[in-house]
Amino acid sequence: MNLNIKQKRSFLLIALIAILVSCVEEIPLETEGFEEAIVIEGTITNELKQHQIKLSETYAVDTTGPNPLSGAEVRVVGNNEYVFEETDPGIYISRDTFAAEPEVGYQLRISVNGQEYESESMQLPDTSNIDQLEASRIDLNGENGIAITLNNEIVAGSSNFYRYEYTETFKFNSNLLKVNDLIIEDGEVVEVPKQKEEYTCYRTDESQNIIIANTNTLSENSVKDLFITFVNSNDPKLSNRYSILVRQFVISQGAYAYLEILKELSGSGNLFSQTQPGFFAGNISNINNRDEKIIGYFDVSTVSTKRLYFDYEDFFPQGSTRPKFVADANCAEVTLSIPALRIQIQQNQIRWSSTSPGGIFSVVQRRCVDCTVFGTNEKPEFWED
Amino acid sequence: MRKYLFLLLLIYFPCANAQTSDSKISLSFENKNLLDVIIEIEEQTDYRFFFDEKWFDFEKLSGEYSQVSLDEILRDVFKDTNLNYFIKDQRIILTQGSIIYDRLSDDFLKIEDETLLAEEDTQTPNPIFYVNSSEKSNTVETILIGKENRQSKQNSYQIEGRVFSKQGEPISGLNILLPNQNTGTVTDIDGNYSINLPKGVNLIEMQALGVNNMKKRLVVYSDGVLNFEIEKNFEELGEVLIEANARDNVKSALTGVEKINVSEIKTIPLVLGERDILKVATTLPGITTAGEAASGYNVRGGKTDQNLILLDEGVIYNPTHFFGIFSGLNPFTTGNVSIYKGSIPAAYGGRLSSVFDLNTKKANKEKFTGEVSLGPVTGNVSLEIPIVEGKSSLIVGGRATYSDWILNLLDDESLKDSQASFYDFVGKYSHEFDNQDELNVSGYYSSDVFSVTSDSLFSYTNRMLAVSYSKVFNEKHRGELVATNSNYDFNLDFESDFDNNFDSGYTINESEVKLKMKYFHNKKHTLNYGINSKYYNVSPGEVRPGNSESLIEELSIPKERAIETAVYIEDSFEVNDKLLINAGLRYSFFTAFGPAEINTYQEGLPRNETTNIGIESFDSGEAIKTYSGPEVRVSGRYFLTPNFSTKLSYNNTYQYIHTLSNNTTAAPTDTYKLSDSFIKPQRANQYALGFFKNFDNNIYELSLEGYYKTADNLLDYKVGADLFLNDNIETEVLQGDGKAYGVELLLRKKKGALNGYLGYTYSRSFVKLDGDFQEERVNNGDFFPTNFDKPHDFSAVMNYKLTQRFSFSANLVYQTGRPITYPIGKYSFNNSEYVVYSDRNQFRIPDYYRLDLSFNVEGNHKIEKFAHSFWNISVYNVLGRNNPYSVFFVTDNGEVKALQSSIFAIPIPTITYNFRF
């Protein structure tokens, strides 16, 4: 047996191919029958405000939602009965402001389409405040970026289960700062000074992932270095000034378990073994038909929030190229024939870039100049520069 | 009288003048069949052929001869046929199989002498004559046993002995047949046989795969001992893929038994060229996996934890590598494999569905030999080392991947962090004492390490040690004492950029002592009886902080301990020539004992945190819960005709150990849990009926088996159950009933240029989870298909031998897609979309099919070489069928996506090289 090194290497190459063979691909989501179910999202907190309950129904997998459920009678019964009124389709807001109080059982009662639904009675858990919200530049799974982590206060009580939501707001600039605009006046293309702020904008994104934590497995009864989110260094979110508001909900163990399953079943899972999916019940049921599948969990939580700001320069060297929504390469000037230019202006597709001494207009794509394509030019009320 | 005449005829032939063809002829033909060639020869010469056209097949011949003797042409033309020719004057007489002698062999004369002797010595009414009837071989050795005793009125005598290879290894599974009487016997694992022969001349045939067929003529006048030495026949190895001893399938009383002769699976194309015993098993009816990368096997609708996998009597908990893509059992050191999926002998117990009984080969005691195999994924070496010549020997086998090394060679950053490697090692020492006693010591170790994401490292190991001493007390009584210890552990080490690093682990360890006795009472009764007892020690999980900064709290779930004991007795009762009954009873006991603290729950309410009302403490050694029950194992065979039998069996089984898994397919990360106060033992009943027929001299085997199974207390889990490091497993489990039924059809062709088998199974497998409370019900408490319910399953495993050296093999597999739970709606929740699932397993993934091809080249036999080589060039999934392994639904950036994973979606070519010395 005389295998020389070359032959061995070719064997290895084959092996390599094999390791890369297993693949995951996206496939079209097909409708394989449809089942209606009521979806209830509702959390009453210790904040004094008008609380909100959201009702919707499931929709077919090949359609887009949401599918709000209107016309329901919604009440939360604690010390008092709080009536909720539908303000938008499927959105029910309490008529009165109230805050959940400790040691009171709250129950959600809904009647819709002749059916009565009731949640289990839930109580307000202990309070825990966010102690520290931190941004740090790290490498995560081969990507460089900013990780947002959270620590909370050590609590004496038994509030061990947490859910987090966050709102990211960031300031950004468009690729090009231009002072003039082109408009059509009496059929003529005319250059006028820019009327609208299009260079500096703000954008707000809500969290979509389920972020939960518990302190059961930790040595101290507090959350330490909890990973909230990660923003890649190339993300335009970081390009100027970034802010994140994190809301911490202390939740019941039941709500935690519910969200944990939801998260597990909707997560990417493992290529080789898949968690058995199926229906899992929350704490709401039809009082006349316990077998009806109700999606959602009614919970009573204590809330604490914290906001963090940082600038691009806090983490990246001055003078480095800032990430943008549009690559600079796509922002080259072009000149168009007048009829083409007119159509483009009417359709709001382009922006003025420069005018040649001969009066010829050069233009660029609108998104290179107008930041409102990606956000709003209104500065949020809370914003601190 | 006719025979006698024939003898005279044969004697007459020496006087005839044969081989007159001195003249040279020239002949050329291309792609002609034999008949055309013969006509051609007749036209060119004065010779005339005598034959029956029916003997010719449709093979095409080509040849070019110039001035050669006719004899030479004929030798060439007939070399690949079963025809012999004889040239007499201008006539060429063709015979099928038999050779017409033109002179007597030395043997023949010797035989003649003995016959004459017999004739002279006896005045019995039935003088013993024999003639060389239609025998293919002209060198049948004749052996005289005893002297004829005129006083003896005995009509049959017992001959026993042992069969060895030239290298001194015992040959097991060798068929010793009396072709004229359609009876026979089979050598046992140590090569021993015993057979009753009628007085006088008996022609016996010895057949087994991997040895040269041999015929002996025995002239029997008394009981006697006869040992044989048989030559191993390596050329034959590729011929038949899976064998049952020639008539075993029709003869044995057991239903649902599959035997795999491991040395014969090498031509079967398998993924990445890894010879894999258990993957071959899945081509047989009734044995499936949930998919290409699913660990574990589903036998006759049973779950993956219901198989008892024994290597040299010791339990192997996870016989898979690399998730489930390869099996962990070394194909080069394993001798034979029996899979009991229907009747389970009473000696085995503890699992519901099947027993995989694997035995490591006994090493060659005379000569140092070895085998090396190089494939793209692993290298494999096995050695057989004689220690004391003829007495003791050692076999060792080891295999390791080189994939880890490859991954490290790569520049790709994301791959550099991932790894997947495994190795396993097996060894067996056997010592034979002068008094036929035997000592065997076997050890097995396997290790797998893999990481799917860069922060987690998974690893698992199997460890097994078995010591057995077998003793022959007397002719009738034998016994074996076996002690085994098996250990399986699984670890997950997590390392991240945040202060939550940890190491976690799971271990199960079992020690068992078995006493297995065999008593040959008489020809009609053979008894097997014994006792076995095992001690389980399970560490259900622990977690430790990964480093000093880690905030993870150390946690250890208390150990579980239990003893499982069983006594059994089984009688194999040959009621008459046609009816054989195998009746066994096993009684098993299981006790879980302390120290332990067991949660107590309110009666009449679902078990969860809120109904947990306290803790009951048990002292060390105090019984927590005891279960026991009888297990009946009855099966019978009835010969409808000598080659056609029907069998009926009933089995019931208990299982006290369960896997904890909330995955749709088994994974190496699954752990085991013992029965306790809450988790009752699983039980199953199986009824089976089969018809078994051999035809064409046992070349073809046909079997049709049907079974119906019911099961109680099958373990399942609530959706999203958290099973690892959970102190209150009982709040997550569901127990329900199962039922499974199926029909299995298997047709095997054991010999010939084209050989192999076709199997078709129609089977269903259902489970019902109908607890007292809504949260304990799945699919409204109705029966629903299990995750591995694949109604139609067709496999063809074929080998076509071009010549002794070259052969083609092909596998074709078709299976119904397995059931999955599919979304039947979406909803928005928390700014994201999620799916709502159908009832469990209401839909199926697309059907699975796959074709694999391989081309095999045996090394040259002509020259005595140092090593015998074997090349296998194979392509797995030739059609490039993208068989989905699973379909799952994720919420990514707030949107639902359907993803499909497949394991080997493109054709995978492989070359493996193997040599033996």
Identify which of B774, B830, B909 has the shortest CB distance to residue A290: B774
pLDDT at B814: 94
> Looking at chain B, which residue has its C-alpha nearest residue A167?
B831
Considering only B486-495, B665-674, B684-693, which range has the smallest mean pLDDT?
Answer: B665-674
State the average pLDDT over residues B417-437. 85
Residues B749/B753/B756/B758 CA torsion (nearest 10 deg): -70
pLDDT over threshold 50, residue A16: no
Partners of residue B294 in chain A, C-beta under 8 Å: 272-273
Binary contact (B552, A217; C-beta < 8 A): yes
Which pLDDT band holds residue B7 (cuts at 50, 70, 90)?
very low
Binary contact (B828, A36; C-beta < 8 A): no
Question: How far, in Å, CA of B52 to CA of B833, rounded?
Answer: 78
Partners of residue B909 in chain A, C-beta under 8 Å: 14
pLDDT over threshold 90, residue B87: no
pLDDT at A7: 31
Question: How far, in Å, CA of B200 to CA of B216, rounded?
Answer: 13
> Looking at chain B, which residue has its C-alpha nearest residue A14?
B376
For chain A, say whether B719 makes contact (Cβ under 8 Å): yes
For B300-309, b where at least 16 C-beta lie within 10 A, e where not — what string?
bbbbbbbbbb
Question: How far, in Å, CA of B418 to CA of B407, rounded?
Answer: 8
Binary contact (B406, A15; C-beta < 8 A): yes
Q: Is the pTM of this model over 0.95?
A: no
pLDDT at A110: 94
Partners of residue A205 in chain B, C-beta under 8 Å: none
pLDDT over threshold 50, residue B15: no
Q: How far is B612 from chain A (nearest CA, A)?
A: 15
Q: What is the pLDDT of residues B96-141, one digit of tens each?
A: 654 544 444 444 444 333 333 333 333 333 433 344 433 343 456 7
| CA atoms lying within 13 Å on the CB side of residue A354 | 8
Binary contact (A18, B897; C-beta < 8 A): no
Q: What is the pLDDT of residues B449-497, one digit of tens each?
A: 877 666 778 889 999 999 999 998 888 889 999 999 999 998 888 877 6
State the average pLDDT over residues A269-298. 82
pLDDT at B512: 95
| CA atoms lying within 13 Å on the CB side of residue B283 | 29
Question: How far, in Å, CA of B459 to CA of A367, rounded?
Answer: 51
pLDDT over threshold 80, residue B563: yes
List, as ranges, residues 771-810 from B with C-beta within 8 Å of A: 774-775, 778, 780, 787
pLDDT over threshold 50, residue B16: no
pLDDT at B507: 92
Please indicate, yes or no, if residue A147 is contained in any of the structural domains: no
Higher pLDDT, B69 or A317: A317
pLDDT over threshold 80, residue B90: no
pLDDT at B18: 37
For chain A, say whether B472 makes contact (Cβ under 8 Å): no
Question: Domain ends where: A76, A95, A124?
Answer: A124
For chain A, say whether B134 makes contact (Cβ under 8 Å): no
Binary contact (B890, A279; C-beta < 8 A): no
Residue A36: both structure tokens together: 């209606």
pLDDT over threshold 70, residue A369: yes
Identify which of B838, B840, B898 has the shortest CB distance to residue A28: B898
State the average pLDDT over residues A365-378. 91
Q: What is the DSSP string of B708-719?
A: EEEEEEEEEE-T
Identify which of A21, A36, A267 has the shortest CB distance to residue B906: A21
Residue B772: both structure tokens together: 């007292």
> Looking at chain B, which residue has its C-alpha nearest residue A217?
B553
Q: What is chain B's alpha carbon radius of gyration, rounded to the nearest angstrom?
A: 31
Q: Which of B535, B485, B771 is nearest to B657 (CA)?
A: B535
Please indicate, yes or no, if residue A106 is contained in any of the structural domains: yes
Question: Domain ends where: A76, A109, A124?
Answer: A124
Higher pLDDT, A277 or A109: A109
Q: What is the DSSP string of B784-818?
A: EE-TT--SEEEEEEEEEESSSSEEEEEEEEEEPPP
Q: Which residue segment(s) compose the domain that A189 sits in? A: 180-199+322-373
Q: How far is A132 from chain B (nearest CA, A)?
A: 15
Q: What is the pLDDT of residues A244-257, one digit of tens each?
A: 999 999 998 889 98
Partners of residue B887 in chain A, C-beta under 8 Å: 27
Q: Provide the CATH number for the domain around residue A64.
A: 2.60.40
DSSP code for A264 = H
Residue B360: both structure tokens together: 């490591």
Which pLDDT band holds residue B445 (cuts at 50, 70, 90)?
very high
Binary contact (A15, B376; C-beta < 8 A): yes
List, as ranges, residues 304-343 from B with C-beta within 8 Å of A: 323-324
> Looking at chain A, which residue has its C-alpha nearest residue B876?
A18
State the helix-helix crossing angle for B34-44 and B70-78, rounded to 10 degrees: 170
Binary contact (B901, A22; C-beta < 8 A): yes
Q: Which of B785, B793, B784 is nearest to B762 (CA)?
A: B793
Q: What is the pLDDT of residues B301-348, one digit of tens each?
A: 999 899 999 999 999 998 888 777 788 888 888 888 889 998 999 999
Question: Measured in whole angstroms, how far is the alpha carbon of residue B879 from the centre of its chain?
Answer: 27
> Looking at chain B, which residue has its C-alpha nearest residue A163?
B830
Please indicate, yes or no, if residue A195 is contained in any of the structural domains: yes
Cβ neighbours for A359, distance < 8 A, ≥ 6 positions apart: none
pLDDT at B759: 93
User: Which residue out of A39, A61, A62, A272 would a mutagenesis test of the B interface target, given it has the greatest number of B Cβ atoms within 10 Å?
Assistant: A272
Question: How far, in Å, CA of B377 to CA of B421, rounded?
Answer: 9
Give SS3 for B308.
Answer: strand
Binary contact (A139, B497; C-beta < 8 A): yes
pLDDT at B194: 82
Residue B677: both structure tokens together: 């106060």
Task: Taking the CA atoms of A233, A239, A240 and A243 in sequence, report the sign of the dihedral they define.
Answer: negative
Binary contact (A37, B836; C-beta < 8 A): yes
Which pLDDT band holds residue B210 (cuts at 50, 70, 90)?
low
Please indicate, yes or no, if residue A369 is contained in any of the structural domains: yes
Binary contact (A12, B406; C-beta < 8 A): yes
Q: What is the pLDDT of residues A164-206, one digit of tens each?
A: 999 999 999 999 999 998 888 888 888 899 888 999 999 999 9
pLDDT at A156: 66
> Looking at chain B, which residue has its C-alpha nearest residue A1?
B915
Please indicate, yes or no, if residue A230 is contained in any of the structural domains: no
User: Which residue out of A136, A274, A275, A284 would a mutagenesis test of the B interface target, given it has the greatest number of B Cβ atoms within 10 Å?
Assistant: A274
Q: How far is A352 from chain B (nearest CA, A)?
A: 35
Q: How far is A116 from chain B (nearest CA, A)?
A: 18
Binary contact (B376, A11; C-beta < 8 A): yes
Higher pLDDT, B696 or B814: B814
State the average pLDDT over residues B598-613. 83
Question: How far, in Å, CA of A78 to CA of A94, rounded?
Answer: 13
Which pLDDT band holds residue B236 (cuts at 50, 70, 90)?
very low
Q: Please tell me the total count of domains within chain A.
A: 2
Question: How far, in Å, CA of B426 to CA of A354, rounded?
Answer: 79
Q: What is the pLDDT of residues B820-834, one digit of tens each?
A: 888 888 888 888 888
Q: Domains of chain B (ranges plus CATH)?
A: 17-96 (3.55.50.30), 133-232 (2.60.40.10), 257-916 (2.40.170.20)
Q: What is the DSSP string of B59-84?
A: -EEEEEEEEEEHHHHHHHHHTTSSEE
Cβ neighbours for B787, distance < 8 A, ≥ 6 positions apart: A276, B290, B664, B665, B818, B819, B841
> Looking at chain B, which residue has its C-alpha nearest residue A258?
B720
Report percent pLDDT > 70 for chain B. 83
Identify whether the C-beta of residue B337 lies closer than 8 Å to the C-beta of residue B297: no
Question: How far, in Å, CA of B347 to CA of B514, rounded?
Answer: 9
Partners of residue B827 in chain A, C-beta under 8 Å: 37, 39, 56-59, 65-67, 295
Residue B631: both structure tokens together: 């297990």
pLDDT at B793: 94
pLDDT at B401: 85
Residue B726: both structure tokens together: 């959970």
Question: Measured in whole angstroms, how far is the alpha carbon of residue A306 from the centre of its chain?
Answer: 17
Residues B74/B79/B85/B86 CA torsion (nearest 10 deg): 70
Partners of residue B407 in chain A, C-beta under 8 Å: 19
Q: What is the DSSP string of B831-847?
A: TEEEEEE-STT-EEPPP
Identify whether the C-beta of residue B915 lies closer than 8 Å to the C-beta of residue B857: no
Which pLDDT band holds residue A85 (cuts at 50, 70, 90)?
very high
Please indicate, yes or no, if residue A356 is contained in any of the structural domains: yes
ipTM metric: 0.83
Binary contact (B888, A295; C-beta < 8 A): no
Return the beta strands (E) in B642-699 as ranges.
644-655, 657-660, 671-674, 682-695
Phi-psi category of B759—alpha, beta or left, where left has phi over 0 and alpha has psi -120 to 50? beta
Report percent pLDDT > 90 for chain B. 28
Mean pLDDT score across all residues of chain B: 80
pLDDT over threshold 90, residue B795: yes
User: Which residue out of A136, A164, A273, A287 would a mutagenesis test of the B interface target, given it has the greatest number of B Cβ atoms within 10 Å?
Assistant: A273
Q: How far is A65 from chain B (nearest CA, A)?
A: 7
Please indicate, yes or no, if residue A56 is contained in any of the structural domains: yes
Partners of residue B900 in chain A, C-beta under 8 Å: 24-27
Q: How many CB pairs under 8 A join A and B?
A: 259
For chain A, say whether B576 makes contact (Cβ under 8 Å): no
Question: How far, in Å, CA of A210 to CA of A304, rounded?
Answer: 17
Q: How far is B904 from chain A (nearest CA, A)?
A: 6
Q: What is the pLDDT of residues B583-596, one digit of tens each?
A: 999 999 999 998 98
Please indicate, yes or no, if residue A355 is contained in any of the structural domains: yes
Task: Judge if A111 and A186 occupy the same domain.
Answer: no
For B868-892, b where at least 16 C-beta lie within 10 A, e where not — what string?
ebbbbbbbbbbeebebbbbbbbbbb
